[in-house]
Amino acid sequence: MTATTDGSTGAASPSRLTAASEHDTDSPEAAGVPDIAAHAVRRATDFLLSRQHDEGWWKGDLETNVTMDAEDLLLRQFLGIRDEDVTRAAALFIRGEQREDGTWATFHGGPGELSTTIEAYVALRLAGDAPDAEHMAKASAWIREQGGIAASRVFTRIWLALFGWWKWEDLPELPPELIWFPTWMPLNIYDFGCWARQTIVPLTVVSAKRPVRPAPFPLDELHTDPSDPNPPRPLAPAHTWDGAFQRLDKGLHALRRAVPRRLRRAAMNAAARWIIERQENDGCWGGIQPPAVYSVIALHLLGYDLKHPVMRAGLESLDRFAVWREDGARMIEACQSPVWDTCLATIALADAGVPADHPQLVKAADWMLGEQVVRPGDWSVRRPHLPPGGWAFEFHNDNYPDIDDTAEVVLALRRVRHHDPERLDNAIGRGVRWNLGMQSRNGAWGAFDVDNTSPFPNRLPFCDFGEVIDPPSADVTAHVVEMLAVEGLAQDPRTRRGVEWLLAEQEPDGSWFGRWGVNYIYGTGSVVPALTAAGIPTSHPAIRRAVAWLEKVQNEDGGWGEDLRSYRYAKEWSGRGASTASQTAWALMALLAAGERDSAAVERGVAWLADTQREDGSWDEPYFTGTGFPWDFSINYHLYRQVFPLTALGRYVHGEPFAAKPAEVTAGSGQALAEAKGS
């Protein structure tokens, strides 16, 4: 068996495509661009096939930033379970991510970030690093220059409050009575995006309890004035939304003392039931690390000891987020992405020419079919009569299937010739029906919920980090539209509403904003293939504007890249950055869909991918091209650098997917799809 980068095992080489090495004796350097591309496709195909797990899935590491590692250590310190081996390995990773100026960034090549640097510093203090060590002194001096702990975000100060390094009284109030707000009431928990909802509910318990564990050391060196560590924050004018919510928070602080104890206890118990009901079979919550961490803390504060089955399963699930590296360092993933990685890998391999009945594609399809979510989750609060049928992002997350994943899984399954076509068709039909039912009022799609667009959650003083709502986005909408077109629903009124929304969302320069990938290149790379699949002609002005923009932002080396700063400084950074394999692939996917196969831009992009491919068929990509929260929380999906270049090169070599066989695309998809078409 062959080992993957994350320690799993892949299929042995005999199961790879036998044709993959047919022309490997050719010299790519002396060949034309089509031959170079074909050579790169063969090598990339072999590489990706070798990385499949025995069970049928693919999963690359999901790299974020060191706050995951720091908070993991702080959790273990809070619970009294921190051990030296884990601490040493975590500290090794955190030290390795420190920049020359003493700071820590949230993405490769990015600027130092205050809260991230504070949390990393505290974690290294837990690991025994002395405050006067050179790397620590650099960090603390920079932290003071930026305003110290007082200037950090709320989440950082909550972690510090757990150990008395910050006053609970100086944090926004989160009353647990929120759990009782009806869905029609502003600021009910379902007004928040699912990731925020899962975090806020346990934090209401933590906020109500205000626990403090003895601090193992002081942090005076992180305050601008240690004699006044908790300076008051200025109030915004009362007539502004920010000012109004700040005053509301002051009122909640005063109300805290008046809430009857029995009422508060009942609210916390209701929150605990809500948390436990949403624990997944693997012990995690939502398949993501932050809600799991806060859920464990909240339940522990309510009397659940560490040997309780809920707590034991929760802690075991957190251990599974750890990636142990060859140098002994330990990195914590914020999440794991097997469904997403597997459907993208299946699409890439199929578009690269792997036969539809290849055993490894069939195995991947079998695994994806087994991951379909067939029970209601939180999404059904807004859609109580919609039958389930989506797919989640993670191994276990039945409460929160993902609209984007569902669309891409359907596109992947449709590329496989399965031994049980009725089972496959019925699963696809359920997924299509669920996605159609999750369309928002404006005709577009968000990631997890319907019409999750309340303007109030982002105004709360508590919500000073990242997105807390889940409005529709161009990239998710595009993937759903593309999937519906492939399923023969291009002319369905619901698909046309999605198309109209996408056309209206195009930026003046011809690009589209990418919510879940960086950024305008990702948005454009998602939307153009969707529009053309849905019947928009390549001569349409929107398509031509997109092509012109992509040609304009192509780098001198022939690739494309975009820095995450485009989320904050759009004009200066839109489509600008060092060339990366994944972003070059997204640009090529758009240009190929727009009919630009023979253009100079495409040839230069294809040549760049071929030139930067490593000997083993893979690509290197230290840059972060994925997004959790635009700008605030960035992701390096380690499989993006493999699946997207192979998809783009495969489409360059073999043509656009499904273009030659439309009859197969629009074939019947079972009873569920028939119902979706008629609903």
Half-sphere exposure of 74 (CA within 13 A, CB side): 31
pLDDT band at 679 (very low <50, low <70, confident <90, very high): low
**Which has the minimum average pLDDT: 459-468, 538-547, 579-588?**
459-468
- Is 566 in contact with 583 (CB distance < 8 Å)? no
Query: Does the pLDDT at position 665 exceed 50?
Result: no
Residue with more model confidence, 10 or 466: 466
CATH number 1.10.1050.10 given to 65-332 = no
Q: Is 3 exposed, middle or buried (0-12, 13-18, 19+ CB in 10 A)?
A: exposed
Contacts with 444 (C-beta within 8 Å, 6 or more apart), sequence order: 472, 473, 474, 476, 477, 498, 501, 502, 505
Q: How far apart are CA 639 and CA 641, in angstroms?
A: 5
Query: Does the pLDDT at position 7 exceed 80?
Result: no
* Amino acid sitting at position 55: E
pLDDT at 178: 95
Scan for tokens 């203090």, then name that residue.
125
Query: Does the pLDDT at position 658 exceed 70?
Result: no
Among 609, 450, 636, 635, smallest CA distance to 38 is for 609
Strand-pairing partners, residue 517, are 626
- Alpha helices in 14-149, H assignment, sequence order: 33-50, 67-79, 84-96, 114-126, 134-145
Query: Does the pLDDT at position 672 exceed 80?
Result: no
Architecture of domain 2-10+35-62+335-455+467-678: Alpha/alpha barrel (1.50)
Tell me how far the alpha carbon of residue 404 is from its chain's centroid. 11
The domain ranges of the chain are: 2-10+35-62+335-455+467-678, 65-332
Average pLDDT over residues 165-185: 94
Residue with more model confidence, 456 or 505: 505
Q: Is 128 exposed, middle or buried (0-12, 13-18, 19+ CB in 10 A)?
A: exposed
Query: Does the pLDDT at position 664 exceed 80?
Result: no
Query: Does the pLDDT at position 235 exceed 60?
Result: yes
pLDDT band at 662 (very low <50, low <70, confident <90, very high): very low
Residue 540: how many other CB atoms lie within 10 Å? 15
pLDDT at 671: 58
Scan for tokens 């293939």, then name that residue.
529
Strand-pairing partners, residue 637, are 62
Q: Helix, strand or coil for residue 63?
A: strand
SS (H, E, C) 538-569: CCCHHHHHHHHHHHHHCCCCCCCCCCHHHHCC
DSSP for residue 19: G
- Is 141 in contact with 131 (CB distance < 8 Å)? no
Among 441, 504, 502, smallest CA distance to 476 is for 502
pLDDT band at 438 (very low <50, low <70, confident <90, very high): very high
Query: Does the pLDDT at position 174 exceed 80?
Result: yes
Contacts with 569 (C-beta within 8 Å, 6 or more apart), sequence order: none
CA-atom Rg of the chain in angstroms: 25
- Alpha helices in 419-540, H assignment, sequence order: 421-437, 474-486, 493-505, 520-533
- Is 414 in contact with 456 (CB distance < 8 Å)? no
Scan for tokens 């398509």, then name that residue.
543
Query: Does the pLDDT at position 605 exceed 80?
Result: yes
DSSP for residue 445: -
Tell me how far the alpha carbon of residue 207 is from its chain's centroid. 27
What percent of the chain shows pLDDT beyond 90? Answer: 84
Same fold for the pair 2-10+35-62+335-455+467-678 and 65-332: yes
**Which has the minimum average pLDDT: 105-119, 380-394, 454-468, 613-627?**
454-468
Give the tokens for residue 584: 């070059």
Counted residue by residue, the chain has a size of 679
Pairing of strands 626-629, 633-637: antiparallel
pLDDT at 670: 53
Q: Helix, strand or coil for residue 165?
A: coil
Residue with more model confidence, 542 or 455: 542
Scan for tokens 């004035």, then name that residue.
225
Pairing of strands 330-332, 62-63: unpaired
Among 74, 6, 514, 519, smallest CA distance to 290 is for 74
Phi, psi of 544 (to 5 degrees): -65, -40
Query: Does the pLDDT at position 628 exceed 80?
Result: yes
| Mean pLDDT for the chain overall | 91
Residue 57: how many other CB atoms lie within 10 Å? 20
Residue 343: how many other CB atoms lie within 10 Å? 29
Query: Does the pLDDT at position 26 exceed 70?
Result: no
Positions of E strands within 557-649: 626-629, 633-637
What percent of the chain shows pLDDT beyond 70? Answer: 92
Scan for tokens 């960086």, then name that residue.
518
Q: How far apart are CA 272 and CA 384, in angstroms?
A: 23
Query: Does the pLDDT at position 673 exceed 70?
Result: no
Query: Does the pLDDT at position 502 exceed 50?
Result: yes
Q: How far apart are CA 551 and CA 601, in angstroms?
A: 6
> What residues are labeled active site?
404
Contacts with 108 (C-beta within 8 Å, 6 or more apart), sequence order: 622, 623, 624, 636
* Enclosing H/E stretch for 641: helix 640-654
> How far, in Å, are 172, 181, 192, 384, 468 from residue 240 at the CA level?
18, 25, 21, 36, 20
Give the tokens for residue 2: 């062959």
**Which has the minimum average pLDDT: 170-179, 374-383, 663-672?**
663-672
Query: Does the pLDDT at position 394 exceed 90?
Result: yes
pLDDT band at 676 (very low <50, low <70, confident <90, very high): low
- Is 121 in contact with 103 (CB distance < 8 Å)? no
* Amino acid sitting at position 345: A
User: The whole model's pTM is what?
Assistant: 0.92
> How far, in Å, are 29, 395, 436 from residue 444 at the CA level?
45, 27, 10
Q: How far apart are CA 562 and CA 37, in angstroms?
A: 23
**Which has the minimum average pLDDT: 15-19, 24-28, 458-462?**
15-19
Query: Does the pLDDT at position 596 exceed 90?
Result: yes
Give the tokens for residue 548: 């012109």
Vertex 466, ends 59 and 160: CA angle to 5°? 95
Give the tokens for residue 571: 């004009």
Q: Helix, strand or coil for residue 472?
A: coil
pLDDT at 243: 79
**Which has the minimum average pLDDT: 201-215, 489-503, 660-674?**
660-674
Give the tokens for residue 248: 């509301």
* Amino acid sitting at position 310: V
Query: Does the pLDDT at position 12 exceed 90?
Result: no
In this structure, is the dihedral angle defined by the CA atoms of residues 659, 663, 664 and 666, taken in order, positive or negative? Answer: positive
Q: What phi-psi label fits residue 663: left (phi over 0), alpha (psi between -120 and 50 degrees) or beta?
A: alpha
pLDDT at 485: 97
Q: Is 273 exposed, middle or buried (0-12, 13-18, 19+ CB in 10 A)?
A: exposed
Q: How far apart are CA 525 and CA 544, in angstroms?
A: 14
Helix axes 359-370, 421-437, angle to 10 degrees: 50
Query: Does the pLDDT at position 16 exceed 80?
Result: no
pLDDT at 674: 64
